Structure 1
Amino acid sequence: MAELLEAVMLICFGLSWPLNAYKNYKAGTAVGTSWQFIALITAGYFAGIAAKFVSGNLNWVLAVYFINVICIAANWLVYFRNRRLDARRCSELVVEEETLVVA
């Protein structure tokens, strides 16, 4: 029963990550995204995986942890993509401002 409850918690929590990645992808900016938060969640998943190995309780719930890690990895990819887009927009703005000042 404990395994089922752990899996339900992971599934409920894990469903938010694909939705978050999609929302951030559509937003196209990393503004308002906390890399520290994503890092803490990532560390938490790895701690949960490590606990499974340390306890020797290797069961099907471990697969749910790995699915969640894949979902959080997608969030990391979107975060870095959006940071790159933000930097590009910022550099374009600087070039545009310099052009206006020179003209």
Structure 2
Amino acid sequence: MSGLEALMMLCFGAAWPFSIVRSWKSRSTQGKSLFFLLVLILGYLAGIANKLLYHFDAVLFLYLLNVLMVSADAILWLRNRRYEITNATESFPK
């Protein structure tokens, strides 16, 4: 197992719980990009594929945890976008 790779994954992963809580509470997409989240998911999936195909070790579980957290944040982005659209249409006079 690569200790430095594990440290990198732990550092990247440390920020996601705070981001998820912020997304949950704010109900806003402000300051977040769905495209960026999808690029991160793709990157983590590539890391998972590398671990499964070429270099299986325990860091795989950190990749899995991170991709789950980023995916949760992306799902919250979609939920929050729906809230924003609903609230915008409700504020127009009929």
Corresponding residue of 1:5: 4
Please report the TM-score for the alignment, with normalisation by the length of structure 2.
Answer: 0.91
Runs ≥4 in structure 1, deviation > 6 angstroms? none
In 2, Cα distance between equivalents of 1:31 and 1:59: 37
CA distance in structure 2 between the aligned counterparts of 1:72 and 1:31, rounded to whole angstroms: 16
Specify which of 43, 66, 69 is matched with residue 68 of structure 1. 66
Matched, 1:14 2:13: yes
* Cα RMSD (Å): 1.3
Alignment correspondent of 2:34: 35
Of the two, which has the highest radius of gyration?
A: 1
How far apart are the structure 1 equivalents of 2:89 and 2:31? Answer: 20
CA distance in 1, matches of 2:45, 2:57: 16
Query: Where do 5+ consecutive residues of structure 2 fail to align?
Result: none
What is aligned with 1:89?
87
| Partner Cα distance (2:68, 2:52) in 1 | 19
How many pairs align? Answer: 94
Task: Using structure 1 for the length normalisation, give the TM-score.
Answer: 0.84
Percent identity between matched residues is 33
Deviation at residue 88 of structure 1 after TM alignment: 1.1
Select the structure that is richer in helix. 1
